[in-house]
Every structure is written in C-alpha cells, then in structure tokens.
C-alpha cells in the first residue's frame, strides 16, 4: 500500500509548501497528550471540565462556520472522471492540486506542523493499515490519539518507508470559500484544507478508512463499510456477530452499545465497533470484520443514561467534547441529556444561553476511548476480527419502510442496500430531514464509481457462496400520523435482533411481502412492551401502493449509472416491480 514518497521526504515536501515554524513528530505518549492539552488550555482551544465528575475531559468549540462534514466540498480526484462515478464530486488531480496548493502555500506560518503516524485496526492485525496525517491543529492530534493507535507504534508497524496512506491537513484560515476535502485514491493521498471538524479533519476516519480504503478494498477483494459491529450473545450462550450500515446520525453508536431489553431472556449486546468495519474473507471462507478505530466520535444530542448508558459511562473521563453546552457545574450538556434544561448554561459558542433554540449544536460530538466502554467486546482487539452472521442496512424513514425485513438472497440484499434512502441529518451541512438515496449508508464515502461498488458487493457474495451473511433492513424511525415514533427503539431494538437471530436459525415466522420477509406480529417478542397491537401492525406494515411510489426514485437513481450499473440491479428492480403487482 505504498505512497510514492518516503515518509521523511513527503514530510519535508509538505513543510516546504506550508512553511510551518516548526515540525513535531508525535510519539503517542500520555506525556505528549498532556503537553498538547496544556498548550490548548493556554491558547483557549480547550476548556477544562469538572475534574471531579469529568476527570481529564475538555470542551472545545469549533468555528461556527465549521460544524459538520461538507459533502459539497468533498472530491474524489481520479485521472478519469468515470472512475469517481455519478455520486461523487470530481476534479482532475492536477486541477485540484493547483487550487489547493494556493491555499496551502505558507498556511502554517507561525504554527507547528504535527506529523501524526497512526494505525487503523488492532496492532499486528493482518488487515490493519498505517496512515500518516500532517496537521497544524493540536485539537486534531488529540482526537487522533483517542480515535486511532497513534504514534511511535505506527511508525514501528510500517513495513518500509513507503508503507502508509498520506494525509495533509491544515485548518488554514478556516474559510468555507477555501475549504476542500480531496482524495487521490490512485496515489493513496488525502488533502484537506479549511476545516478542523470531524470527518473533514480527522483523516483516519472517513477519508482513509472509508474513501481510500473502499478503493483499496475493491482492488484487493475486501470491503470497507460505514458499519457498526456488534456481538450478540444468545440464550444458548453462543455469540454471533452482526454489522449494520446506517447513515450518519441514524443510530449506529446506539445500536452497537445497546443495553438489551431482553437481557433476562439471555440476549446481550457487546460492542466491537460503532462506525466503520473493514471486512475480508477468512481462511475458512467466512466474512470477518475488524473495527479500524480505537475510539468513538459519537453524536452527543439524544445520548443520556436511559437511551445509551454505555456511551455515558464511556465519556465520563479522558474525553473531548466538541460544540456541546456548558452548565454552571462546569459539566457538558446537550439536548436530550436531561428533560429539564439546566439554568445558567453557556451555549455551544460559549455565549450565555437564552433558553431559545439549541444549547448544544445538533452535530455536537464526544470523543471517547473505546477501551472505556463498559460493554466493549473481548474481541475488540482480536487481530483476526469477528465472523459475521448477518448484515443489516438501516435508514431513517418516517413512512413506508417497516421496522425490519429480510432480504430474499444476497443479490436481493445488494439491491436493498443500493436503493436505500434516508432522511438527511445534521452530520453533514445542508438541509436536515430531506429524503435522499444513500446506498449502503455510503453515499458520501464510496471512494470510486458506486456502480462498480455494487458490482464489488455482488462479487463478494459469489466468493462467499453459502457462507455469506444473511441480509436484513431495519428502520427505527417510522412515525404515526402525529409524527410520533411507532417503535420505542434503543434497548428494545434487541427484540428485532432476536427475530433476526431466530430467522437465521430457521426458527422465527415471517410473512412474505413484495419487499422481503417481515415478522408476523406474533414472531416479534413484545413481552413487557408498552405498545398496542395496532401499533406493532403499523410499524410492520408493507403497503404495495406506497411502495410503488418508491419505484420512480430508484429508477432515476439507477439511470444515472448507465453501463456501470450491474445488470443484476435492474433484474431485482423488475422483480420488485412485479411483486408489487
Ligand atoms: P454517526 O456517528 O454520524 O455515523 O452516527 P450514528 O449512526 O452512530 O448515530 P447515533 O447512534 O449517534 O444516533 C444518532 C441519533 O439518533 C441520536 O440522537 C440518537 O439518540 C438517535 N437514535 C439512535 N437510536 C435510536 C432509536 O432506536 N430510536 C430513536 N427514536 N432514536 C434513536
Ligand atoms: C458521520 O458523519 O458519519 C460521522 C461523523 O461518523 S464524522 O467523523 O464527522 O464523519
Ligand atoms: Mn459515521
């Protein structure tokens, strides 16, 4: 996986361009972290939170113009435009580099250039990979320390001086007019400028582990996916492993860490990963997954001791909070943390909170070490990863899409993934709540032509044969006429996992519908649940007339691909059309 320049030479080249005052190579030690923290406390980037209740935790505010991923400024820069495909923004590598070089030129004057080597994946795992991020943001370095295996151990993991994915990042003047997140997958290179936030700036995450990695994965026969990985312990004491792809801010962290409502019945959930899965075919022919990350960069709003106690426990020490509100007790707060808003808060820009609007930004986040999660799986560091039994695709849809359904085959499952649609969220800039197609929850993250990506999924299914995981679709967000969620969600989602598990064992009943197999109302365990039978019927309902109205959107999406769309996708489209009558 070689970059074209030796690491030292590339660092020098970046320094020549960005002209920092000094260069600092990160070793990843705790002393170094403390040094960065002290520097950020001094310059006001960090605010220290209540040491008694949130030891070693810090609050940071981003520039108000820089609060989420910027999909309209994210580019896949391949030599041929067709290789980026119809779902990505494209510029030629030469043109993009020319534009960005002007922004990079001298952008680190008066600043330190940090060189951040990091490993994505457990140390020593065959599937793990090294990246090096150059950045002028101490905040980014601190986040990378939590999110990845960072420092000397990454340098030690390199097979030779070329064995890394290169990422150059500068906040520069944080100007939205001069902000670009560019990927050069043919060169194993990422350039990001003008943003210091989340996936725009922590280059190991979406830029490397999804966009560059998905390109590599296609070349090398594996998969890089926007998926949580969870461990499901069942009453027989066995463990099965499930991955789930849900779009940004649609419930991956929550599903991965859920406290099962069916613990008494023997269904328990543990976390292997909450955002990204790298999957490969093992020696036994099964699909295995590792979590390339070492921490959680989780959505704060909605997280509370009831909805996600494990996240709350994870973030109570050694964590960074970005764009949350601050209470009088010097503790972080966000919408949905408590029912009552505390008096006398500062909002996410540090101003006195008036009580109007959001105190925390809707995309405010916590950065917490995965090892602190009470329900982290014992397999989290397993270099082999975990064998996957089921793959779930999920969306945020108020209408039409039932709580859960089972795909009829791998090929049909690929069609279900390819035609996913979901309401947009605050995780990216732009309108919120607009339904858009989001294939495999990867629309913003596929680093190449999505038509080729669908083909790659079909190819992986052929290689896996009868060892392929079963595919399901989930939707926790269906609402009634008054806009209220029909399904309680969170820990009660274990009831859906139970049905999925029993389906795989050939035990649970299902009703065949046009879109796939849906639980019969009796097959879903609703014991102790405070919902009416009518509500359950509603949340499981598949209405053919409504589904027919979904078809034109799918067709319009597929039409964009021309001859890069696998023929099998049209076959499945026609079969669905027929089943709908
Ligand atoms: P990214 O980190 O952006 O990729 O997001 P994610 O998919 O991990 O989403 P996350 O689990 O953080 O959830 C996003 C929002 O959805 C939070 O506000 C949650 O409280 C809410 N949420 C998660 N699960 C459920 C559920 O089962 N029901 C309902 N109603 N809301 C949920
Ligand atoms: C997402 O948007 O899917 C995230 C947050 O997980 S970010 O790291 O900003 O991409
Ligand atoms: Mn994500």
Catalytic residue numbers read: 250
State whether 38 and 166 are in the same domain: yes
Total domains, the chain? 2
Q: How far is the CA of 428 from the centre of ligand 2 (A)?
A: 8
Q: How far is the CA of 229 from the centre of ligand 3 (A)?
A: 13
Let me know if residue 473 belongs to a domain.
yes
Q: Which ligand is nearest to the CA of 208?
A: 2
Q: What is the pLDDT of residues 224-266, one digit of tens each?
A: 999 999 999 999 999 999 999 999 999 999 999 999 999 999 9
Let me know if residue 371 belongs to a domain.
no
CA dist 85 and 453 (Å) reads 10
Helix (H) or strand (E) holding 452: helix 450-464
State whether 127 and 260 are in the same domain: no
Which ligand 1 atom sits nearest the alpha carbon of residue 274? 8
Q: What is the pLDDT of residue 1?
A: 62
Average pLDDT over residues 396-412: 98
Let me know if residue 425 belongs to a domain.
yes
State whether 230 and 86 are in the same domain: no
State whether 504 and 540 are in the same domain: yes
What is the three-class DSSP state of 252? helix
State whether 97 and 179 are in the same domain: yes
pLDDT band for position 473 (50/70/90)? Answer: very high
Structure tokens at 292: 């390339």
- Whether residue 2 has pLDDT greater than 90: no
Structure tokens at 530: 């405070």
What is the three-class DSSP state of 114? strand
Q: What is the pLDDT of residues 532-568, one digit of tens each?
A: 999 999 999 999 999 999 999 999 999 999 999 999 9
Residues with Cβ within 5 Å of ion ligand 3? Answer: 248, 275
| Residue nearest ligand 2's atom 4 by CA | 248
CB 180 within 8 A of CB 89: no
pLDDT band for position 208 (50/70/90)? Answer: very high
- Whether residue 271 has pLDDT greater than 80: yes
| Residue nearest ligand 1's atom 28 by CA | 489
Which candidate, 244, 278, 246, 257, places its Cα nearest to that of 129?
278
Q: How far is the CA of 422 from the centre of ligand 1 (A)?
A: 13
State whether 438 and 531 are in the same domain: yes
Which candidate, 506, 467, 478, places its Cα nearest to that of 404?
478
Q: Which domain holds residue 215?
A: 5-46+68-220
Mean pLDDT of the chain: 97
State whether 255 and 188 are in the same domain: no
In CATH, what number is assigned to the domain containing residue 162? 3.40.449.10
Average pLDDT over residues 577-581: 97
DSSP 469: P
Close Cβ partners of 7 (under 8 Å, ≥ 6 residues apart): 132, 158, 161, 162, 164
Pocket of ligand 2 (CB under 6 A): 69, 198-199, 205-206, 248, 275, 297, 427
From 180, 205, 220, give the residue that closes a domain: 220
Q: Among 243, 298, 299, 474, name the best residue to mutate to test ligand 1's pocket (greatest count of ligand atoms within 8 A of Cβ).
A: 299
CA dist 288 and 240 (Å) reads 12
Q: What is the pLDDT of residue 214?
A: 98
Q: Among 73, 211, 427, name the best residue to mutate to test ligand 2's pocket (greatest count of ligand atoms within 8 A of Cβ).
A: 427
Which candidate, 460, 478, 465, 463, places its Cα nearest to that of 518?
478
State whether 199 and 245 are in the same domain: no
Backbone angles phi, psi at 170, to 5 degrees: -140, 135
Which candidate, 160, 161, 166, 163, places its Cα nearest to that of 128?
163
Helix (H) or strand (E) holding 276: none
């Amino acid at each position: 996986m070689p970059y074209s320049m030796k690491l030292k030479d590339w660092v020098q080249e970046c320094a020549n361009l960005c002209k920092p005052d000094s260069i600092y190579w990160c070793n990843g030690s705790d002393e170094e972290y403390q040094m960065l923290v002290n520097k950020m406390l001094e310059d006001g980037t960090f605010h220290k939170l209540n040491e008694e209740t949130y030891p070693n935790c810090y609050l940071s505010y981003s520039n108000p113009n820089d609060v989420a991923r910027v999909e309209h400024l994210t580019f896949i820069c391949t030599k041929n435009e067709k290789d980026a495909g119809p779902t990505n923004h494209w510029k030629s590598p030469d043109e993009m580099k020319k534009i960005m070089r002007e922004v990079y030129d001298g952008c680190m004057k008066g600043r330190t250039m940090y060189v951040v080597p990091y490993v994505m994946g457990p140390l020593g795992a065959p599937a793990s990979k090294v990246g090096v991020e150059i950045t002028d943001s101490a905040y980014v370095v601190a986040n990378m320390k939590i999110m990845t295996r960072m420092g000397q151990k990454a340098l030690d993991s390199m097979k030779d001086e070329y064995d890394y994915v290169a990422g150059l990042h500068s906040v520069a003047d944080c100007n939205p007019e001069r902000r670009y997140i560019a990927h050069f997958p043919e060169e194993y290179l990422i350039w990001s400028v003008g943003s210091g936030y989340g996936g725009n700036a922590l280059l190991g995450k979406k830029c490397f582990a999804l966009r560059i990695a998905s390109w590599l994965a296609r070349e090398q026969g594996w998969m890089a996916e926007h998926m949580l990985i969870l461990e499901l312990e069942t009453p027989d004491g066995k463990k099965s492993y499930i991955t789930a792809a849900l779009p940004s801010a649609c419930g991956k962290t929550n599903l991965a860490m859920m406290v099962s409502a069916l613990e008494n019945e023997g269904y328990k959930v543990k976390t292997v990963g909450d955002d990204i899965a790298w999957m490969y075919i093992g020696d036994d022919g099964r699909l295995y997954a590792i979590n390339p990350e070492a921490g959680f960069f989780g959505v704060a709003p909605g997280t509370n001791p009831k909805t996600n106690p494990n996240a709350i426990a994870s973030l109570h020490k050694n964590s960074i909070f970005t764009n949350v509100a601050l209470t009088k007790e010097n503790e972080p707060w966000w919408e949905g943390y408590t029912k009552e808003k505390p008096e006398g808060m500062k909002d996410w820009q540090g101003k006195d909170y008036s009580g109007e609007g959001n105190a925390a930004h809707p995309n405010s986040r916590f950065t917490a070490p995965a090892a602190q999660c009470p329900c982290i799986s014992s397999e989290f560091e397993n270099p082999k990863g975990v064998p996957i039994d089921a793959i779930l695709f999920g969306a945020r849809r108020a209408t039409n899409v039932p709580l859960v359904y089972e795909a009829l085959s791998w090929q049909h499952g690929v069609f279900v993934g390819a035609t996913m649609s979901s309401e947009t969220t605050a995780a990216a800039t732009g309108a919120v709540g607009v339904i858009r197609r989001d294939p495999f929850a990867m629309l913003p993250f596929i680093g190449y032509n999505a038509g080729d990506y669908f083909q790659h999924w079909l190819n992986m299914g052929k290689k896996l044969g009868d060892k392929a995981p079963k595919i399901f679709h989930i939707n926790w967000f269906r609402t009634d006429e008054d806009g209220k969620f029909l399904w309680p969600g969170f820990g009660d989602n274990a009831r859906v996992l139970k049905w999925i598990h029993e389906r795989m064992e050939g035990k649970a009943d299902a009703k065949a519908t046009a879109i796939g197999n849906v639980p019969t109302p009796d097959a879903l365990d609703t014991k102790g649940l405070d919902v009416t039978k009518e509500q359950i019927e509603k949340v499981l309902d598949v209405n053919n007339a409504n589904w027919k109205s979904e078809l034109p959107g799918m067709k319009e999406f597929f039409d964009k691909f021309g001859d890069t769309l696998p023929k099998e996708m049209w076959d499945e489209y026609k079969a669905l059309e027929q089943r709908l009558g």
